[in-house]
């Protein structure tokens, strides 16, 4: 059960509704915004940050989705692991999600994807272990603007994913993502939800 009450969209700040299209979104798509709505001005800032990243992305959709799901696993954000965005559907399937269990051994990932996932693992679990050599490895595949974009994606996914995991908002998710708080869940092997 979620640890903060969910505010119905009818009670949200009108600007927040407009920013998120919350009035036409499903309950799953409304997600954490139902709790962020307790602090509407801050919610608008957080959602604006996420929207700026999504609307100005230059990295491949497939790479972004792989990184998002891998960080969700480290965060144990069940709602993040359960969601599959329709924008990535053409380049993404559940076989690819299974590659995230052991990305360095997966044969369906590119070297660039492996480098980004290895960096994401450290960013999410041991950020102080990120060395100059790790950045040099990223430079083999990404220019500086792409590297900065990857870092901004990671900051969003780690921060908001940990917030969502802490809120334990799992009651509307498929059963495979509703394990008791503290029990490990994975994005592979479950019943994901498609969202727009």
**Domains of the chain, CATH where assigned:** 1-56 (no CATH), 59-166+179-195 (1.20.1290.10)
What is the sign of the dihedral through the CA atoms of 22, 93, 120 and 79?
positive
Residue 190's pLDDT is: 82
Residue 141's pLDDT is: 98
Residue 93's pLDDT is: 85
Calculate mean pLDDT across residues 167-191: 90
Q: Going along the chain, which residue ranges are E strands? A: 83-85, 193-195
What separation in angstroms does the CA of 193 have from each of 26, 27, 41, 162, 175? 11, 12, 29, 20, 12
pLDDT level of residue 88 (50, 70, 90 thresholds):
confident
Q: Is the overall model pTM greater than 0.85, yes or no?
A: yes
CB count within 10 Å of CB 126 equals 9
Does residue 183 register a pLDDT over 80? yes
| 70 in Cβ contact with 81 (< 8 Å) | no
SS3 content of the chain, % helix, strand, coil (to 5): 65, 5, 35
CB count within 10 Å of CB 176 equals 15
Calculate mean pLDDT across residues 8-24: 97
| 73 in Cβ contact with 63 (< 8 Å) | no
Does residue 196 register a pLDDT over 80? no
Residue 67's nearest CA partner among 118, 106, 141, 143 is 118
Q: How far apart are CA 47 and CA 89, in angstroms?
A: 23
Q: What is the pLDDT of residues 101-160, one digit of tens each?
A: 999 999 999 999 999 999 999 999 999 999 999 999 999 999 999 999 999 999 999 999
What separation in angstroms does the CA of 135 have from each of 6, 35, 54, 62, 176? 40, 36, 23, 21, 36
Residue 172's pLDDT is: 92
Residue 110's pLDDT is: 97
Does residue 166 register a pLDDT over 80? yes
């Amino acid at each position: 059960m979620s640890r903060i009450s969910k505010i119905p969209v009818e009670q949200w700040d009108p600007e927040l509704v407009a920013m998120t299209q919350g009035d036409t979104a499903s309950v799953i798509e409304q997600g954490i915004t139902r709790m962020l709505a307790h602090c509407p001005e801050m919610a608008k800032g957080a959602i604006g940050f996420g929207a700026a990243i999504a609307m100005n992305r230059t990295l491949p959709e497939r790479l972004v989705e792989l990184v998002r799901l891998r960080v969700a696993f480290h965060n144990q954000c069940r709602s993040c692991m359960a969601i599959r965005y329709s924008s990535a559907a053409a380049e993404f399937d559940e076989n690819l999600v299974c590659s995230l269990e052991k990305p360095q051994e997966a044969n369906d990932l590119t070297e660039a994807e492996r480098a980004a996932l290895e960096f994401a693992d450290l960013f999410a679990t041991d950020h102080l272990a990120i060395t100059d050599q790790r950045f040099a490895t990223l430079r083999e595949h990404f220019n500086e603007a792409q590297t900065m974009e990857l870092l901004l994606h990671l900051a969003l996914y780690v921060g908001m994913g940990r917030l969502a995991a802490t809120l334990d908002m799992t009651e509307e998710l498929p059963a495979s993502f509703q394990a008791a708080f503290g029990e490990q869940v994975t994005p592979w092997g479950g019943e994901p939800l498609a969202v727009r």
